[in-house]
Chains A and B, each alone.
Chain A
């Protein structure tokens, strides 16, 4: 049995693997040192001319390797494919501009300056759509801490749920409709001289991960010789991913999905079948630090929250919730992010609701900071006067929570609702429901938490 010490060690080790590291850190250190104490102006200005560039280059060379936590490892000897099972499915590498699936909103914020690499593949019969492009952020971007310069944007989703994932935020976004995939932009990564491959994004499988409930997905960049990527499971099963490139890309971009398995190995081969690199357990080391979602500057309604904050915005006719829980994690919706409703409010659903957090949000009282709290937020049509949540209790019992509904933006009929359930109430987004009533007490709509009713 694990002791607290063991659990703490493991957690710290894994968490540390996810810390962000930038490639220009040393340069920033030098600039700081210069600013504070006149480091360069007190007889050392020559260092800026001679030492710093060399150091910066050296530091970058060293740090990039460290920063890229997942780094391809050159095999000790070349191997050829064929020893294992054949890939279950594969699609040809993308060529040029292919149908641009599901990149709508994000591509308007970061217009593509490169080809859009659109991939389609189907591990275990579930179609995955992945698109990648390069572009510069525009004024429309709703991110507040995107690195300057060119961005690598990606959108990954499948047909399990919806065809049109909603964007506007970063990270594995969760639209109101259950599950869709992820869409985000990040500073375009680079490969160091020794690197063959790098992971830039991914989703782990889990009961709350919606579209990828039965899959893990990783994507990233690879050196030019890379021609294929295959996920190899311990039981010998293999799942082929896709590798390709296009105009504007100096590297290959790859994506692969596979059943969740901690001992997964991703194998990259060149066109002649020689193994170039492999990544073991990329789930543990995959690092991506997407920027936090910015809050649009106006039009916010602050919904009462017990710890952090939830703000509602009307964005291009869609309701969006910007969520910053007090605790640093939540289950149903990742914290510090936002969700944008997939449907426009005009002609939209009667009721939509999301689970903001479920479980230990760390926002309890000072005496007991770990008491679990569940929070729910959503929007509804004008004729909705009340929203009641029905959450399972122990055995056959149910807990009912009524939410008041408030009006929102002038000129709209959108109503907003919010409920904070008492501690120790856990919700299951697939079973527990929200029901909307009109002023006469009649049921207008009922949805599972985490879903949006069809218009």
Chain B
């Protein structure tokens, strides 16, 4: 129905001087299909894991996939790879921010005001409780209850055993139950 206020300059910043197309697999092209299908999911995953800039995390994960794509043994594992990247990058980001905050107490990631207003209060309570869990436990719960992944796939994404996943989920739910009960 119309592009408004000027379409973003999609081509800005890209190298243009080059030879013509050539045969061969193009990782970007192959990854682009996955990107179109899964980018929102990956952003949301990073967001639910508490990333302060979820898009940054998801984009870095896809960039890593482009770089890695040729060496993936199983192209079908690309989704698991990028999910795992999001988890790892978010975890690293939290670690980095902890160090930074120790030196300079400053703002941390907050939901936008609009998000806070829009979210239901009961959901805010649950999410606040979730945010207080250890990162690995939080990952397991998000992968299990938001993405509905089976234990085996969660284990692959987290790089742990299925038993460890089970333990994280169990402990996480118990911690949530305790926290929510105390908030009543």
Contact = CB atoms under 8 A, between A and B. Distances in A.
Interface of A: 4-5, 7-16, 18-34, 36-37, 39-41, 44-53, 55-60, 62-63, 66-67, 134, 149-150, 152, 170-173, 188-196, 201-204, 206, 209, 221, 223-225, 249-251, 283-284, 286-290, 292, 308-309, 324-330, 334-337, 360, 362, 369-370, 372
B48 A53 contact: no
A44 B123 contact: no
B32 A360 contact: no
Interface stretch (B92-100, B124-132, B158-166): B124-132
A18 B146 contact: no
B179 interface: yes
A47 B119 contact: no
B143 to A, nearest CB: 10
Contacts of B19: 45-46
Interface in B17-74: 17-22, 26-29, 31-32, 35-36, 39-40, 43-44, 47-48, 54-55, 58-60, 62-63, 66-67
A250 B115 contact: no
14 contacts: A4-B177, A18-B119, A20-B55, A23-B8, A26-B32, A29-B62, A29-B66, A40-B15, A48-B16, A62-B36, A150-B5, A204-B118, A289-B112, A289-B115
B157 interface: no
Given A11-B126, A28-B59, A221-B4, A290 B114 contact: yes
B2 interface: yes
B118 A63 contact: no
Q: Report whether over half of chain B's contact residues are helix, strand or loop; otherwise say mixed.
A: helix
Given A209-B117, A328-B110, 11 more contacts: A8-B176, A11-B124, A19-B43, A20-B43, A37-B67, A39-B66, A47-B26, A51-B26, A362-B128, A370-B132, A370-B182
Given A4-B173, A63-B39, A329-B124, A56 B10 contact: yes
A5 B128 contact: no
Interface string B132-153: 1000000001100110000000
Contacts of A39: 27-28, 66-67
Contact of A55 (B15, B29, B176): B29
Nearest to B63: A32
